[in-house]
Amino acid sequence: MRTRLTAPVVLAHGLFGFERIGLGPLTLATYFRGIPELLRAMGNRVLVSQVHPTGGIQRRARDLGERILAAFPDEPVHIIGHSMGGLDTRELLTDPAWSGRVLSVTTISTPHLGSTMADLARRSFGPVYQFLKAIGWDHEGFLDLIPDRAVRWHERTQAPEGIPCFSVAGDPPESEVCWPLQRLFALMSRREGPNDGLVSVASASAFGRPLPAWPTDHLQQMNWWTGYPRLRVPPNIAAAYASVVENMALCERAPEYAERH
């Protein structure tokens, strides 16, 4: 499927995210592994965000807005937010100035209601958080994902009127979860039910209109741990992103479709 959008696509990364890691022209790793190239091969213009890796939602949202304005100062955009990138996008859209700049929002495995993992991390790594605070390193992002705090933020941050908003959850079978997430997947299954190893289906689906869940874990959604070399994208991941882009195209082609969502 080769869907070409009129407006550019912004890929907003999650916690610990980055655009690329490399030495000069040599790229060692990217957050969205091969995904920007996939979307560009469809004929689309793509911006990969670069925001503070562990900062709070408000700081990351400001960074996101600045990156978009620098790349596309006079154009509306579609935004795909993976994990915390979806929360950054929602926070950005609380500013009325962005109401006419965003054509659609799609969040992928975003912890709209927080994640058990954030709560466990706080309890396990409390001294580390205190150290980060002492040296002045912004680590509010970890705290923003604690369920109690996240739910309060979610309740006061409603979907903006006039912007079609969609959500995608990850719901893989246990046998398909990559080994780094297997223990976390089992733990979350006991505590929150279906999940992708880091975010529950219920949390990921709590915003906008839920689209069909992807049978992929949290890392596979970024094309990590899929077994494919370099920047190649496996067919199932390529098809998943293509379906999201086709949904965006519907928002562009059919205003009545966008208005219903």
0.85 cut: is pTM over it? yes
Give the β-pairing of 26-30 and 20-23.
antiparallel
What residue type is assigned to position 52 of the chain?
Answer: H
**Domain locations in the chain as residue ranges:** 9-111+153-259
pLDDT per residue over 174-216, tens digit each?
Answer: 999 999 999 999 999 999 999 999 999 999 999 999 999 999 9
- pLDDT above 60 (res 25): no
- Across 68-96, average pLDDT: 96
The residue whose two tokens read 């995608």 is 168
- The confidence score (pLDDT) of residue 103 equals 94
What distance in Å separates the CA atoms of residue 24 and residue 79, rounded to the nearest whole number?
A: 28
The domain 9-111+153-259 is classified under which CATH number: 3.40.50.1110, 3.40.50.1820, 3.40.1360.10, 3.40.190.150? 3.40.50.1820
